[in-house]
Structure 1
């Protein structure tokens, strides 16, 4: 496959793997709302932050949306957007590598760009994500009127590149006709639209107990009342479902209490497999324009805001409706004014937002606090957003390893454990449980252990960080192969082999990058 050459390309390719792992340090006073929330707002360079996320979120993100600097040779207050082509590609290439590695196998990447770098990006993205995983180049109608001072063409669109992590596993939702969905006026706690009908059979001529005796049985209302399928005239009717289906579909039954007692209804959900496939033109009437986006930001921050390049909430909503379901994880590593996180939050998705510089605090943080408090701008009314949830704020901390490739003495056990697990298995380690034993987990039949920082309660130099026969008998057993990280071992190579143990010495055999 052809690839794109640029100044420093080989250096960029090689240095991608040498970016050091850094810690993410919480800033409790800048977090907001529900302390159990999984949403993360991170202040710092996106490259280092993406690398720091890998041990915890590798292969976990369902949808990534990024709106990187367009290289417009304009002087933005919040970005150095005056980059030469080679420097712009040097910035994007390693970030694409880490974004790819964070995606789920059924996930997708969405990138907005204009004509200056779009076609260069396409070639680089084909190399990193695989040409077969290119899905579409959609066109977003960013302007709703021509610029009369344009000398040649008045640009009315931006590109929206869509890539799959694995095209064979990607599924996008179809676009629903609003008129067809008008009947589905209720929404459950997972965001699915539905309406209800009485569970008692009605008006078919076959709605009597005599016609279907097995459909005449009692149900129990929420207060314990026995309810039978009686018709309004007092005669015996029947249910639409038999006892087996009632048990299987009990979550679809809604109870309503009226003056004549309880009525059992059942939910009919909108079929999301219906509708039309998404099209590659995103008109401003559907998703909003630059004018829409600027008005949304000014409504939040006032006329004094100088952030001039936001995306409209409707555009992000359309993307998330196509690419995600409630509860999925969404990532934006060029968060800007916070639009992606705000929309994901309102739509019931989990999110991670990364933004460089102080306006992670001055723009993103206040906007997302307003979302938690129930602000009614953007898509809020259309998705019935009233507030809730929360987020944690993080800054990039020191590297896991110092300049001499030694583990920093103050690195918590959980951070090093996540690092070891990821470099050994390629899988994230997101357990919030406190580690009480050296067993990190079992992956494909192999158990992984980390003896570090007195995990066994013995912090002597020759204590719990050194593998001995006694210690091996005390840690959680595993019948299959074992990989043990520690400061030293008192067992010979032959003895380790006979016990099915591969010992790796910290820090010499622990990869720093």
Structure 2
């Protein structure tokens, strides 16, 4: 199940696509449902497929621009926190200024993709949230700042409570509109039946077990305490999971409930994913059914999974290889009707489909080989391959190293990797759409047809 899309940021950023849909085999034409788009007030030929895209998210965002600029209702992202400890293998220890540039480039194109009535939510912790707030004020306008949502992660135990300071127990979610005068917002409430328990039935039973009460009496007391004597509903505040009504713990707290992706897929522990209930609240607040939801740090696929269950169209982008073993496989489980997360609350029984494809790699393939090389012998083979097949950085003289290969071989492995990376032209990491017919790139007919379908006929 793979496709390829190729493009370049400097152009309209298009790349070559060969998608497979997880219902119905190979897709050579993307679905453009005129009836759905009419209801959404979008051009009739807008793509209506759910899209799962593997590749550099900056390039992928630019690839989406022609088709989706001004059409995305909601963006939710959970970017690397710049802590040096990211569980999904991003470079999560950027220096501070590099992280801000990294985010700036992506937030600028993200803004172009949003509808005028759209919103963006950025989930961060204390390391960068305040700097990101200033950055987003610049990109989206201070007037479009809506809220800083404080999300209390949940109850604490173990070594985290031993810190000689106040115990950290929250993330921040920056919420901005594209245009404050047109922003869509669906004010939601927590209904009485969904209030957080003040005391669980099991605990109450343990307390009352010595008082000769039957199950019906205990059940009546349980309902009196938790529901009957409380208000009918409570409005959602900008501090989540921190009052007597609101129950919104992190996945680390509720993993026993079966929402854990690791348990769902039978894989090694996948840490750090946000709960489906958290994403449900955001999607419910800022979209209607059929609206487009974008997440360009897709991770384990929580946003896409919840969007599918809530009948929203999703676009999810992830560059790491686990997109194939975790993200894609999780979404297949959603189609099959898995009952974790918010499935039962939404009455989810399965169904739907998505298209999975990749940005068509060129120099990026060599970068990946460099990173994975385990010894100098492998590096030397990559050196020869780059010399023969890669697009080279004109600012670096590779011939100098070729003539003095013994000096190159004498360098430490990490230094060899750094030099090889410098040889590569970073503007040619992926195949530009304009090069789709270049025989050197060996673009298949399926990839050409799918790329033409994705980007539209080239003029």
| TM-score exceeds 0.5 | yes
TM score, norm. by length of structure 1: 0.56
> Counterpart of 2:351?
388
2:89 aligned with 1:78, yes or no?
A: yes
Quickly say closer, same or farther: Cα 1:327–1:55, change in 2 above 3 A.
same
2:272 aligned with 1:309, yes or no?
A: yes
> Counterpart of 1:198?
none
Q: Secondary structure at the match of 1:159?
A: strand
Quickly say closer, same or farther: Cα 1:120–1:24, change in 2 above 3 A.
farther
> Counterpart of 2:156?
145
Q: Which of 335, 346, 358 matches 2:298?
A: 335
Q: Secondary structure at the match of 1:128?
A: helix
Quickly say closer, same or farther: Cα 1:130–1:27, change in 2 above 3 A.
same
Which runs of structure 2 are paired with 1:353-392 in the superposition (5 Å)?
353-392=316-355
Which runs of structure 2 are paired with 1:283-322 in the superposition (5 Å)?
283=241, 285-292=246-253, 294-295=255-256, 296=259, 297-302=261-266, 304-322=267-285
How much has 1:24 moved relative to structure 2? 4.8
Partner Cα separation in structure 1 for residue 112 and residue 52 of structure 2: 20
Which runs of structure 2 are paired with 1:424-503 in the superposition (5 Å)?
452=459
List per-residue Cα deviations over 1:161-180 (Å, max 9, x = no partner): 00000011012111134249
2:16 aligned with 1:58, yes or no?
A: no
Q: Which of 154, 160, 163 matches 2:176?
A: 163
More strand by share: 1
2:435 aligned with 1:408, yes or no?
A: yes
2:52–2:315: 8 Å Cα contact kept in structure 1?
yes
Q: Which of 133, 137, 158 matches 2:144?
A: 133
List per-residue Cα deviations over 1:37-81 (Å, max 9, x = no partner): 610000111101000011111111000000000011226352221
Quickly say closer, same or farther: Cα 1:416–1:393, change in 2 above 3 A.
closer
> Counterpart of 1:280?
238
Partner Cα separation in structure 2 for residue 75 and residue 313 of structure 1: 20
Partner Cα separation in structure 2 for residue 350 and residue 406 of structure 1: 25
1:293–1:311: 8 Å Cα contact kept in structure 2?
no
How much has 1:414 moved relative to structure 2? 9.0
Partner Cα separation in structure 2 for residue 60 and residue 312 of structure 1: 26
List per-residue Cα deviations over 1:69-124 (Å, max 9, x = no partner): 00112263522211111111121011001110110000000010000000000000
Quickly say closer, same or farther: Cα 1:294–1:87, change in 2 above 3 A.
farther
How much has 1:308 moved relative to structure 2? 1.2
Partner Cα separation in structure 2 for residue 27 and residue 341 of structure 1: 18
Partner Cα separation in structure 2 for residue 374 and residue 84 of structure 1: 42
How much has 1:359 moved relative to structure 2? 0.7
More helix by share: 2
Partner Cα separation in structure 2 for residue 161 and residue 312 of structure 1: 17
Partner Cα separation in structure 1 for residue 320 and residue 277 of structure 2: 26
1:372–1:388: 8 Å Cα contact kept in structure 2?
yes
Quickly say closer, same or farther: Cα 1:405–1:350, change in 2 above 3 A.
closer
How much has 1:143 moved relative to structure 2? 2.6
Q: Secondary structure at the match of 1:407?
A: helix
How much has 1:315 moved relative to structure 2? 0.1
Q: Which of 30, 41, 53 matches 1:42?
A: 53
How much has 1:154 moved relative to structure 2? 1.3
Instruction: Count matched residues.
Output: 312
Unmatched 5+ stretches in structure 2? 1-7, 32-47, 196-231, 363-426, 439-447
2:191–2:234: 8 Å Cα contact kept in structure 1?
no
2:147–2:174: 8 Å Cα contact kept in structure 1?
yes
List per-residue Cα deviations over 1:198-257 (Å, max 9, x = no partner): xxxxxxxxxxxxxxxxxxxxxxxxxxxxxxxxxxxxxxxxxxxxxxxxxxxxxxxxxxxx
Quickly say closer, same or farther: Cα 1:107–1:175, change in 2 above 3 A.
same
Quickly say closer, same or farther: Cα 1:132–1:393, change in 2 above 3 A.
same
Q: Secondary structure at the match of 2:83?
A: coil
2:190–2:236: 8 Å Cα contact kept in structure 1?
no
Partner Cα separation in structure 1 for residue 237 and residue 271 of structure 2: 28
How much has 1:138 moved relative to structure 2? 0.5
> Comparing both chains, which one has the higher relative contact order based on Cα–Cα distances under 8 Å and sequence gaps of 6 or more?
2
Partner Cα separation in structure 2 for residue 97 and residue 62 of structure 1: 16
Structure number, greater radius of gyration: 1
Supply the RMSD in Å over aligned alpha carbons: 3.1
Partner Cα separation in structure 1 for residue 148 and residue 328 of structure 2: 32
> Counterpart of 2:15?
23
Quickly say closer, same or farther: Cα 1:311–1:181, change in 2 above 3 A.
closer
Q: Secondary structure at the match of 2:332?
A: helix
TM score, norm. by length of structure 2: 0.62
List per-residue Cα deviations over 1:348-371 (Å, max 9, x = no partner): 111010011211101101100000
2:54–2:318: 8 Å Cα contact kept in structure 1?
yes
> Counterpart of 1:349?
312
Quickly say closer, same or farther: Cα 1:379–1:24, change in 2 above 3 A.
farther
